[in-house]
Structure formats: C-alpha cells, structure tokens
C-alpha cells in the first residue's frame, strides 16, 4: 500500500483534539484508511448511526462521502394496481379510480423523491458541519440491486450500512438488503449492528487467520486504534478437536485390512504428537506477525490464542471483551476464491452484537517478518544455501523463503532449496552458480 494514502487527522477536529499531537502524528504515519465512503441512508436507527460513523471516518481520513437512498417507485405503482380490486366500491367507479391513480402517481413520482432527499439532507447537514465533501444520490429501482451497482462501481472503497432498516424487528440479526449487499460487495463493508454504540469508544478486536484479507483488516484496525486512542486486541482461533473427531469416525468405518493399509495407528499417533502442536504453532505465528506489524506502526496490541471452532471461540471471546468493532477478513485462509463470504465471517456477522468491518483489502506481510516466526531451515538446506556466492546469498534466501511460503512450507529442506532454484533461476545461471560456488567471481572469459 502506498504512502500517498496515509491516514490524516484534521488538527482542528474534535477527534484530533481528543487524540493529542502524539496520536495525530501516529495516525499520519499509519497505513491508509479510506478515500471515498458510501453510506446507505434510510433514517432508521441503524442507518442514522451509520451516517454518524461514516462522517467520523471521513473526518479521520479526509475522505469524501456519498449518501445513497434507493426508492422503489415502480414497485409501489405495481402494488397499487394490484390492490385496486380491493378498494371500496365508491373508489372503483371509473372517474374516481382515475382520480386516485393520478393522485397516487403524483405521490410516488414526487413523494418518494422528496422523502429520499430528506433522508440524505440529514447526512448532508452532518458533512457540512464537519467540512466533509458530500454527494447525495437518490436512485430508483430494486433496493439491493441498485445499491450494489453503486457499491461496486469503483467509485468507493468503503460501504457503511445498517444491519437492519426501517423494518427492523427486536432480536433481528441482518435485514435482507444488508445481507444481499454484503455478500456481493467488492469493497470493505462496515455493518452497524448496535445503533447506540459509538465505534470510537472501543475497544477493537481483529480476528486473524493468516489470510491476506485478515492482514488487510489489521492495517485498517491499526489506523483506527491510533486515531481513536482505543485498545486493540488481535485473536487467532484454531480447532484442536476436529481431527480427533475425524479420526474417531474413520476408525469406525475402516476395516482391519484397510486400517493396516492406511497405517491408521501411525497416522493417529502422528496427529497427536505433531499436528495438534503444529496447529497451535501456526496460529501463534500469525499473532507474532501481527505484533511485528503493530510494532512497525507504533501501536501496542494485545493478543489471544483461542481454541475451539473458530467462529464459536471468537464469539465467546467477544462476549467477554464487549468490543465496539470486530474486524475480520471477508474470506479466510482456506477459502475457495469463488466464495462470496467465508463461513466464519458469515456466522460472526450474524451472531455478534458489535459492529463488523469485513475486510476486502489484502495485505501480505513482508516475507522476512513471516519467516522469522513461522519458518525453519534444516542443516542440509543451510549448507546448500552456503554454496550460493555471498553477495547473492541474502537475495537467494528471500527468494527461497517466498517460494516455500507460497507452497505452504514451514520447514525448508534441501529439496525445497533445489526446487526453488530450478523454478526461479534459468538453467545456465543455476549451473554457473554451482560451478563457481566457492571459487570467487567468474573470470572474464567464463
């Protein structure tokens, strides 16, 4: 992410005065937040809180804000025609019916536009007070489809939307418009779930699984934590019980002969001795990487390693911590790229009480940062690397680390070094490196 998208605080704003000069300088140095924010407005409690938060975010990042309301004039017109047969008899006479149609058409064509403009006027007033550029959009059509068209237009990098609209019911999790849009949005999406809760009150929790989108969410959370001077906790959850359940079920169906062929007893022992510890190590490594990234940005964070079904373990943890905001990657580390939303993200979005920021932006931590806590080299691999001329050794090490990381390896063996060399170096260059290893630079005629 380039430095031109740095987060800024307006020194004269309430947020800047509250944060103090040190926090302002930290926010300026942070990774980027957003430049163009889209907020869905319908005057519901969730939407009104969304407008407030969108204005606050725009003030932090010096972003421009667009407010959108979609009204369904044609739907109302169609519904009125369908209901004409149920009107009292005096309204079904031709002259009276035509008069009602004219009144209704006027109400729909002008009335819904006036209502939409009134909804957006509230956002416009808040933006004027905060000196934030604002653009209103009143559009007609099927609400979720038209809203989604604007969301994915390429003109915005954050959508703020209420979990429920004017049709909210007590205990409801997600409204249909919110759910349909969130699943298809190509940009970061902030879903407001508690109309009474200010995000700037904190704390913020980031759920990290090692995916690029989760790390992208971490950068956003770091910027917000700096700007708001609130606590930031990063959690990683892994499931140590799943493989036990799988092995137990497999043992029921495998015949004795199949068990011997599969070497089931050895596989189970390997699991108990290595895989459980390995899973914990992997997710502890994600937290260590997060600590390194946070340290680079001057942010103190807390970390917690959770065990259990990830969404359930995170949900229990959130119930204890009671954050104002959960940040999570829309897709997880094992996601099929064709998925619209990951399973853990979807369940948490439905079940948690706090606002949820679904991260679409991706970030890959530096290879050396990840390798420092997740990758080891066998002695044979180290000796193999020593055959590379010293002036190129550091570059070769980074290339091999990157090669191994892309293929999911956490232990680099001599074979991986050879595979990386074959894949990354032209045959003549690799042969030359081996031929000249230990003999100094090649002569002028080589």
The confidence band for 428, taking pLDDT boundaries of 50, 70 and 90, is very low
What pLDDT digit, counting tens, does each position of 150-185 carry?
999 999 999 999 999 877 667 667 889 999 999 999
Angle at 176 between CA 82 and CA 341, to 5 degrees: 145
Could you give the CA distance from residue 32 to residue 400 in angstroms, rounded to a whole number? 30
| Entry pTM | 0.73
- Please choose, from the candidates 149, 150, 176, the residue with its C-alpha nearest in 3D space to the C-alpha of residue 163: 176
Per 3-state DSSP, what percentage of the chain is helix, strand, and coil (rounded to 5)? 55, 15, 30
Q: Does residue 203 have a cis bond before it (omega within 30 degrees)?
A: yes
Mean pLDDT of the chain: 77
Residues 423, 390 contacting (CB under 8 angstroms): no
Q: What pLDDT score does 218 carry?
A: 95
Share of the chain above pLDDT 70, in %: 67
Q: Give me the mean pLDDT over the 295-314 stretch.
A: 93
**33-190: CATH architecture:** 3-Layer(aba) Sandwich (3.40)
DSSP line for 117-158: HHHHHHHHHHHHHTT--EEEEEEES-HHHHHHHHHTTSS-SE
* Topology classification of domain 375-436: Helicase, Ruva Protein; domain 3 (1.10.8)
The tens digit of pLDDT for each residue in 20-64 reads 434 433 443 444 589 999 999 988 899 999 999 999 999 998 899
Q: Which of 43-52, 138-147, 191-200 has the lowest mean pLDDT?
A: 138-147
pLDDT given at position 184:
93
Token reading at 433: 């490196």
Poorest-pLDDT segment among 22-36, 310-324, 337-351: 22-36
Of the ranges 107-121, 126-140, 285-299, 315-329, the best mean pLDDT one: 315-329
Residue of 347 and 385 predicted with greater confidence: 347
Mean pLDDT along residues 377-405: 82
H or E stretch including 397?
helix 390-406
Q: Give the pLDDT confidence of 70-118 residue by residue, as tens digits.
A: 876 554 555 555 454 455 555 555 655 555 655 656 566 665 666 777 8
- Please tell me the predicted confidence (pLDDT) of residue 446: 38
**Burial (0-12, 13-18, 19+ Cβ within 10 Å), 398:** middle
Report the C-alpha gap between 200 and 193 in whole angstroms.
Answer: 15
- Closest C-alpha to 410, from 227, 288, 263, 249: 288
Going by C-alpha positions, the residue among 362, 370, 331 that lies closest to residue 216 is 362
What residue segments make up the domains of the chain, in order of their start? 33-190, 197-363, 375-436
Hey, CA dihedral for 176, 179, 182, 183, is it positive or negative? negative
Q: Which residue has the higher pLDDT, 393 or 66?
A: 66
Question: For position 48, what pLDDT does the model report?
Answer: 92
| Residue 154, CA distances (Å) to 7, 190, 212, 220, 352 in order | 20, 17, 21, 19, 29
Is the confidence at residue 442, as pLDDT, over 50?
Answer: no
pLDDT band at 439 (very low <50, low <70, confident <90, very high): very low
Q: Is 299 exposed, middle or buried (0-12, 13-18, 19+ CB in 10 A)?
A: middle
> Which fold does the domain 197-363 belong to in CATH?
Rossmann fold (3.40.50)
Residue 246's pLDDT band (cuts 50, 70, 90):
low
Instruction: Return the pLDDT at 422.
Output: 81
Distance CA 191, CA 372 (A): 35
| Predicted local distance difference test score (pLDDT) of residue 17 | 34
Same-fold call for 33-190 versus 197-363 = yes
C-alpha to C-alpha distance for 227 and 60, rounded to whole angstroms = 7
**Span of 58-67, 203-212, 227-236, 269-278 with lowest mean pLDDT:** 269-278
- Name residue, tokens 């025609």: 81
Position 357 confidence tier, pLDDT thresholds 50, 70, 90? very high
Highest mean pLDDT among 104-113, 197-206, 335-344, 426-435: 197-206
């Amino acid at each position: 992410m380039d430095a031109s998208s740095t987060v800024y605080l307006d020194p004269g704003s309430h947020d800047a005065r509250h944060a103090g000069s040190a926090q302002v300088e930290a926010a300026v140095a942070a990774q980027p937040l957003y430049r163009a924010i889209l907020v869905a407005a319908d005057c519901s409690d969730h939407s009104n809180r969304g407008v407030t938060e969108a204005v606050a975010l725009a003030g932090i990042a010096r972003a421009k804000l667009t407010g959108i309301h979609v009204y369904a004039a044609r739907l109302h017109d169609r519904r009125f025609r369908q209901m004409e047969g149920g009107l009292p008899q005096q309204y079904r006479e031709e002259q009276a019916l035509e008069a009602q149609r004219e009144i209704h058409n006027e109400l729909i064509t002008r009335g819904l536009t006036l209502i939409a403009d009134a909804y957006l006027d509230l956002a416009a007033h808040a933006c004027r007070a905060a000196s934030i550029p604002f653009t209103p959009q009143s559009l007609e059509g099927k609400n979720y489809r038209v809203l989604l068209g604007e969301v994915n237009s390429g003109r915005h990098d954050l959508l703020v939307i209420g979990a429920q609209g004017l049709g909210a019911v007590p205990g409801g999790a997600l409204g249909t418009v919110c759910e349909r849009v969130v699943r298809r949005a190509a940009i970061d999406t902030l879903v407001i779930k508690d109309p009474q809760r200010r995000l700037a009150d904190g704390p913020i929790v980031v759920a990290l699984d090692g995916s690029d989108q989760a790390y992208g969410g971490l950068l956003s959370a770091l910027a917000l934590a700096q700007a708001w001077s609130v606590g930031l906790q990063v959690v990683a959850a892994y499931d140590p019980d799943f493989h036990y359940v799988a092995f137990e079920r497999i043992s029921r169906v495998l015949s004795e002969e199949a068990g011997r062929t599969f070497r089931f007893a050895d596989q189970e022992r390997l699991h108990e001795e290595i895989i459980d510890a390995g899973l914990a190590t992997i997710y502890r490594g994600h937290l260590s990487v997060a600590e390194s990234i946070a340290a680079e940005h001057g942010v103190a964070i807390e970390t917690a390693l959770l065990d259990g079904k990830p969404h359930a373990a995170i949900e229990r943890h959130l119930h204890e911590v009671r954050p104002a905001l959960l940040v999570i990657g829309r897709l997880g580390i094992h996601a099929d790229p064709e998925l619209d939303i990951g399973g853990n993200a979807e369940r948490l979005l439905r079940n948690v009480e706090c606002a949820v920021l679904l991260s679409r932006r991706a970030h890959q931590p530096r290879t050396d940062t990840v390798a420092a806590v997740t990758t080891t080299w066998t002695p044979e691999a180290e000796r193999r690397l020593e055959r590379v001329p010293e002036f190129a050794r550091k570059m070769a090490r980074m290339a091999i680390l990157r090669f191994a990381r892309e293929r999911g390896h956490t232990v680099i063996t001599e074979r991986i070094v050879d595979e990386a060399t074959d894949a990354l170096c032209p045959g003549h260059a690799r042969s030359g490196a081996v031929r000249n290893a230990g003999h100094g630079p090649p002569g002028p005629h080589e």
